[in-house]
Amino acid sequence: MKAKTEQTRPSGRSTLRETRTVFTNGLFFKNPVLIGALGLYPVVAAGYNLRMAVELSILLFLITLPTGLVCCFLGGLIPNWLRPGAVLAVNAVFYLPAAWCLNQLFPGSLHSLGIYAGLTICNSMLLSRCNDYAPYHLARAVLADVFGCMIGYSLVLCGFACLREFLQRGSVWNSNTGTYIAADKGTALPFFGFILLGFAAAFTKWADNRRDKKAERRVPRG
Amino acid sequence: MNMFMELCLAALLAVAAENVIFTGGIGFSRVLRAARKPKTIALYSCFVGLFSLASALTACYLGPVLLSNSTLLFMRPAVYAFCAALAYLLVAFVLKTFLPKIYGKVGAILSPAAINCIVLSMPYMQRSFAMRPHEAAGFAIGTGVAFFLAALVLSEALARYRNEYMPKAFRGLPSVLIYVGILSMVFVGVTGGRLFG
Amino acid sequence: MPSLQETPCLRKERSVPSLMWNVTLALCTLLVLPTVYYGWRPLAMAFVTVALCCLAEVAVCLVRRRTIHSDPSLLVTGLVIALLMPVNAPFWMPAVAALFAVLVVRAPFGGTGCTPFNPAAAGVAFVTICWPERMFSYVNSTIGWVLPVFGDCTYMEVRSPAGVLKEGLKPDIVPLEMLWGRFVGPMGTTAMLVIGACGLFLVFRRIANWEAPVFFLLAAALWAALCPRIACSPLTSVKYELMSGSLFFCAIFMVTDPVTAPRTAVARSIYGAFCGALVMAFRHFGAYEQGACFAILASNAIAPLLDRAAGAVRVWGGKIVES
């Protein structure tokens, strides 16, 4: 996506294509968890049941979106050395309304999330997008990146949580699916999350490699 | 002497049984980044330890105030995050202004070492274990040591386990994640599968 | 997977197949006594575990479109897993351990000769975490019942001496009787004399290096003597600790794994001592009555660091250490 410093006005189609690329990169091909190894702790440690995963995803989204936009509009004005602290402070400010909204949507969720709710302020994916990407890109790119990354992140978080809760309890979101697997809480522990994440990252890398090979074959010769 | 022993025990706890990195998965992104630059591991870990210490000690004195009513309790994470941001800004300002040469060397690792989940988790640990200031200090120092050991082990693994026989899809991050997952099982052997937090 | 002749952990005159076949032979001897005591179940369990290891490896080779070699290291992995299980464990437990060992610990890292962790230790650790109650309940071997080959065996379960020690109590059996192997514990870890003979066989045939197991046992014995878990003499404590649980078995068959152990003699000695101390630490402070597998995983993680440190010491000291 074109950086803010460029003066040329891109055509509508290429802008849309570029926005879509930014979105799909955040969603899958450059997924922040599976490729960037960012924001690991909610996936491996907190994401052992679907309800917590959904609550964390919503909280993270409600913090990332406004922070990303603020950093997009104002981030370039702040010196590089000052920006990490400023981004953290902005995160902290937006955490308060986000946490309030989450508690309205899911009463008691803040209490059940415990330490993980507070640590979303310091989530490395959030800090990375707001500190390293948003200040240098246009607002539509930042929005596409935020949405792409958040959806990609949430899909990984909720997908893993679904699997782990099913292995642990034989049901998802406290609903009874009618099956029961004799698994103990081992699958709820962080080590299992790391291993699952490793395999998912391998799958993503494989898909990426295949896409690159196809793209190479499509390049006309001569 | 008693206080010193308790401090050491708290440090040992942070490295072994209550290792926030392996039992909680907290701050692992930072460990991975530190492991990719082996020459900076020691300095990185030092800064993580120091900022964790500041965070833990802040929690000892600010914690009771924040727990006094429900509004302050709700704002607690934001307050601690502000304190962490202030600590980073203060240190960065002092180094940049008065010690620019040192800032030039450590500037790149200062912000990731100061602003991460490990540092922000210290107040929760302090409250969870009802630690007194010297115990919280020991725990913070132990967390810095745990960070150093984790990054050291990972850096060695990154260097050594990158071979042509590995499936291409597993080279790099995927194999590191699986490696860490298997290593995390060791800590489960200590804690017995208790969920963190 | 490296070709069977290329694994860097071997002396020049050895090949991986010959090394692994000798270890397999040693492990098979440990199946004799459990078969005598309990019937065909131990053999069936070993067969199922080994078969699953091989099938998982075949599946990996098919997915990766590689040629399928005969790889005796899979036999070793399968037998170690089976021998660390209680004889009354349901068959799906060693099956899960075997699949974990091959699909999670071996395959992603490149297979034989490339694994950072001992696959059998990781598989057993995984099953221990997920089903600790099943892992540590045993059938009383002194009653003389022949167990059903494939059925459920959850009757007359008793605690092993390792479990009794974990509770701070003295086991009923005296240490001298433990030598004959007629007490409860993981299937292949109770026959002390046979394990010792296997260890001597492996060391004298130069299949296993002696430094790691010797320092492992010395460190464990020292800890047991200095910090006994029960009120007894240091010597009695050493006997109980070395002969209960899977400590002795792990010293002979897992600490000596040439792939995951360090390459230099100095590093192996430190590695063995560290592992032995860690096993005892797990016994004192860990959550489970047996922590040998966890200790081995932790030691595998520091093995590369020890090699690097030993290499640095060699350079600084200017003295060549035989590796």
Yes or no, beta carbons of C294 and B186 under 8 Å apart: yes
List the single residue in C with minimal CA-CA distance to B193.
C129
Q: Is the distance from CB of C291 to CB of B189 less than 8 angstroms?
A: yes
Q: Which of B107, B117, B175 shows the shortest C-beta gap to A41?
A: B117
Q: Is the distance from CB of B45 to CB of B149 less than 8 angstroms?
A: no
User: What does the domain layout of chain A look like in residue ranges?
Assistant: 14-210
Q: In the prediction, which pLDDT does C4 show?
A: 41
Yes or no, beta carbons of A183 and C126 under 8 Å apart: no
Q: Is the pLDDT of residue C280 over 90?
A: yes
Yes or no, beta carbons of B166 and C301 under 8 Å apart: no
pLDDT tens, chain B, 197 aa long: 788 888 888 888 888 877 778 877 888 888 888 888 888 899 999 999 999 999 999 999 888 888 888 888 899 999 999 999 999 999 999 999 999 998 888 888 999 999 989 899 989 888 888 888 989 999 999 999 999 999 988 888 887 767 788 899 998 889 999 999 999 999 888 887 665 54
Percent of chain C with pLDDT over 70: 88
List the single residue in C with minimal CA-CA distance to A202.
C108
Yes or no, beta carbons of B193 and C304 under 8 Å apart: no
Alpha-carbon distances, residue C63 vs C60, C100, C103 (angstroms): 5, 17, 12
Burial (0-12, 13-18, 19+ Cβ within 10 Å), A111: exposed
Higher pLDDT, C217 or B3: C217
Q: Is the distance from CB of C259 to CB of C7 less than 8 angstroms?
A: yes
Surface of B (100-159) touching A: CB under 8 A: 107, 111, 114-117, 119-121, 124, 128
B163 domain residue, yes or no: yes
Q: Is residue B145 less than 8 Å (CB to CB) from chain C?
A: no
B38 domain residue, yes or no: yes
Element at C274 (helix H, strand E): helix C265-285
C72 falls in which pLDDT band (50, 70, 90)? confident
Range of the domain at B28: 2-191
Residues of chain C contacting B170 with CB distance shorter than 8 Å: 108-109
The interface pTM score, or ipTM, of the predicted complex is: 0.89
Q: Is the distance from CB of A98 to CB of A63 less than 8 angstroms?
A: yes
d(CA B84, CA B77): 11
B40 domain residue, yes or no: yes
Q: Which of B159, B175, B189 shows the shortest C-beta gap to C286?
A: B189
List the single residue in A with minimal CA-CA distance to C130.
A186
pLDDT tens digit sequence for A48-101: 889 989 999 999 999 999 999 999 998 888 888 899 999 999 999 999 999 999
Interface test with A, best of B18, B19, B21, B26 (most A CBs within 10 A): B26
Q: How far is B192 from chain C (nearest CA, A)?
A: 5
Q: Is residue B108 less than 8 Å (CB to CB) from chain C?
A: no
Residues of chain A contacting C126 with CB distance shorter than 8 Å: 186
The total of structural domains in chain B comes to: 1
Its pTM stands at: 0.89
SS (H, E, C) chain B: CHHHHHHHHHHHHHHCCCCCCCCCCCCHHHHHHHHCCHHHHHHHHHHHHHHHHHHHHHHHHHHHHHCCCHHHHHHHHHHHHHHHHHHHHHHHHHHHHHCHHHHHHHHHHHHHHHCCHHHHHHHHHHHHCCCCHHHHHHHHHHHHHHHHHHHHHHHHHHHHCCCCCCCHHHCCHHHHHHHHHHHHHHHHHHHCCCCCC
Largest CA distance in chain B: 59
Mean pLDDT of chain A: 84
Q: In the prediction, which pLDDT does C144 show?
A: 64
Yes or no, beta carbons of A202 and C129 under 8 Å apart: no
Q: How far is C211 from chain A (nearest CA, A)?
A: 32
Q: In the prediction, which pLDDT does C3 show?
A: 44
Interface test with B, best of C109, C131, C305 (most B CBs within 10 A): C109
Q: How far is B7 from chain C (nearest CA, A)?
A: 19
Yes or no, beta carbons of C116 and B174 under 8 Å apart: no
Q: Is residue B191 less than 8 Å (CB to CB) from chain A?
A: no
Q: How far is A214 from chain C (nearest CA, A)?
A: 19
Q: In the prediction, which pLDDT does C318 show?
A: 46
Q: Which of C64, C107, C129 shows the shortest C-beta gap to B185?
A: C129
User: What does the domain layout of chain C look like in residue ranges?
Assistant: 16-312
pLDDT tens digit sequence for C281-317: 999 998 898 899 999 999 999 998 898 888 766 555 4
